[in-house]
Structure 1
Amino acid sequence: MIVLGFALAALIGISLGLLGGGGSILTVPVLVYVLGVAAKPAIAMSLPVVGVTSLVGAALHWRLGNVRVATALTFGVVAMAGAYAGAKLAAFMSGAAQLALLAIVMLVAAVSMLRGGVATRVEDAPSTVPVRAALLVPIAFGVGVLTGVVGIGGGFLVVPTLVLLARIPMRQAVGTSLLVIAMNSASGFAGYLGAVSIDWGFLAGFTATAAAGALVGTMLVARVPQAVLKRGFAVFLLVAGGFVLYRNRDALQGTDHSDATRAASHAAIASATR
């Protein structure tokens, strides 16, 4: 299973390189349902994976002039505060509740991809909406909280926000969002330190594999039809999100058995770290 897990880590990185984001949303399901890591450590460990792979993508976009550093820092600092707060908030939630929320986010992201993305539709329309910088602060904080709670970068929220409210062109919004994601992922991970058990050796290997995959994906991006790829990934995301939601349905019904969940989590951690 370790070999399969690392192969999937490479695929996560490749999909991020191809799509400019999105692929990292599968990191937590892979860690939990393929490698047997407990929910809370999996969510915490997903953040360095998301952050490092996003930083690789941001560096490549920066070389092409597609990163607005000032905007990323402004949005990212607020998002970092939200991510740290989200990680601390997660201490009051069960792992099953976090996974159920992640599943809902996966389904929303999949529907957004199937519809073509809010940002794409807005950019194609006449520019009639003024810059609304005041709205960026609460949205950035909210995206950060979501990152801290469920372990995703939130690119499918950051990109439309930058296009809609900051009026940044799509290509620059994607590059800028990757730097934002790297920043709030680092902050969210810091919020989990000391609260969950981390297998540092495993995390380093998984993250390096995903980052290498991101480089490969970036090199392949010009050879793969983006529309077909995004629709295929969105369908897969729908299936994966439905599976995760079904597995954690008790959390939505308020019947999550916390003692049993904790026992299973401890067993999974022990198994994954042997």
Structure 2
Amino acid sequence: MTALVLVLAAGGVIGLALGALGGGGSVLAVPALIYLLGFTPTAAGTASLIIVAATSATALSAHARAGNVRWRTGILFASAGLVPAMLGGVLARHLPASLLTGAFALTAALAALRMLRPSGYGPDDPPVRPVQAAGAGAGLGAVTGVLGVGGGFLAVPALVNVLGLRMRVAVGTSLLVITLNSLAALLARAGSAETLNWATLGPFAGAAVLGAWDGKRLAEKVSAGTLRRIFACVLLTVAAFMLIDVLIV
């Protein structure tokens, strides 16, 4: 019973983050799966991709109805990252668990610090810049494949600061990027999905999908700046915990 409560609570929080911020679900899913539910880092990466892909697709539909998705930009951004994501997924199978955990923690910390920095958002979305979109998308795809993250916690800052999208549009567009990147990375990890604990993974993903709907409503009531600061603090806490764990071991 206690394990089920943990699964549902963790899934709900992850869905809430994805729905409200357009990212961050996998940054919380991986440590939750490792430290709360006993998954190995490799299995946690695969499981998080399944959870995040399903949750992001659900949240994407809600943001699309609100007109907050730039489809052309998102598809271009994601397409550039598909091959790097698949190659990263293959590489992840051959990396030691401690290296994956440490790299994940450092990535989360850098993303949190970036989110704490103030950013200016223009009143209008600029036209798509193919070179910048492709470059940022390729880098994000590689991170997605290796670390088993959807990439939204990095995609939102990139869409805002590199491509100049408004925050709400960046959140919606990032969900398209996350969905496509997660599916590509899962193709490279398909063999490892057979060993997952589906009895745990199913309720986790279900709670995350439901949480994503609440996250979308939350995003409409709370300022983007407040949401970013809260989530950045959570990221820094998670990153510090994981780094300490790696260093002690």
> TM-score, normalized by length of structure 1?
0.81
Q: Distance between the aligned counterparts of 1:113 and 1:75, measured in 2?
A: 20
1:87 to 79, 86, 89: 89
Question: What displacement does 1:9 show?
Answer: 1.1
2:231 to 230, 233, 243: 233
Partner residue in 2 for 1:203: 201
Question: What displacement does 1:225 show?
Answer: 4.7
Change (3 A) 1:73 1:223: closer
- Which moved further from structure 2: 228-237 or 102-111? 228-237
| Secondary structure at 2:93 match in 1 | helix
Partner residue in 2 for 1:183: 180
- Aligned-pair identity in percent equals 38
CA displacement 1:188-245 (0-9 Å, x = unmatched): 1121111462223432221111011111222233334543343232222211101101
Q: Structure 1: where are the runs of 5+ without partners?
A: 251-255, 257-274
Q: Distance between the aligned counterparts of 2:212 and 2:27, measured in 1?
A: 14
Change (3 A) 1:170 1:226: closer
CA displacement 1:129-187 (0-9 Å, x = unmatched): 99642233232122111011112222233233334444433332221111011000011
Counterpart code for 1:235: C
Contact kept? 1:80, 1:185, Cα under 8 Å: no
Q: Distance between the aligned counterparts of 1:18 and 1:126, measured in 2?
A: 21
| Secondary structure at 2:216 match in 1 | helix
Contact kept? 2:49, 2:148, Cα under 8 Å: yes
Change (3 A) 1:107 1:67: same
| Secondary structure at 2:153 match in 1 | helix
Change (3 A) 1:140 1:20: closer
Change (3 A) 1:44 1:209: same
Establish whether residue 216 from structure 1 lines up as the match of residue 214 from structure 2: yes
Question: What displacement does 1:28 show?
Answer: 0.3
Partner residue in 2 for 1:242: 240
1:67 to 66, 69, 83: 69
1:194 to 191, 196, 201: 191
Contact kept? 1:131, 1:165, Cα under 8 Å: no
Counterpart code for 1:173: A
Contact kept? 1:147, 1:154, Cα under 8 Å: yes
Q: Distance between the aligned counterparts of 1:180 and 1:166, measured in 2?
A: 14
Change (3 A) 1:56 1:126: closer
Change (3 A) 1:111 1:146: same
Change (3 A) 1:174 1:246: same
Partner residue in 2 for 1:156: 153
Partner residue in 2 for 1:115: 117
Contact kept? 2:23, 2:156, Cα under 8 Å: no
Counterpart code for 2:150: G
Q: Structure 2: where are the runs of 5+ without partners?
A: none
Contact kept? 2:52, 2:182, Cα under 8 Å: yes
How big is the alpha-carbon RMSD for the aligned residues of Structure 1 and Structure 2? 2.5
- Which moved further from structure 2: 31-40 or 45-54? 45-54
Q: Which runs of 4+ in 1 moved over 4 A?
A: 124-127, 129-132
Partner residue in 1 for 2:167: 170
1:77 to 76, 79, 87: 79
User: Superposition pairs for residues 9-158 of structure 1, below 5 Å?
Assistant: 9-116=11-118, 120-121=119-120, 123-124=121-122, 132-158=129-155
Contact kept? 1:13, 1:24, Cα under 8 Å: no
| Secondary structure at 1:92 match in 2 | coil
Contact kept? 1:132, 1:165, Cα under 8 Å: no
Q: Flag the structure with larger Rg.
A: 1
Query: How many residues get paired?
Result: 246
| Secondary structure at 1:248 match in 2 | helix
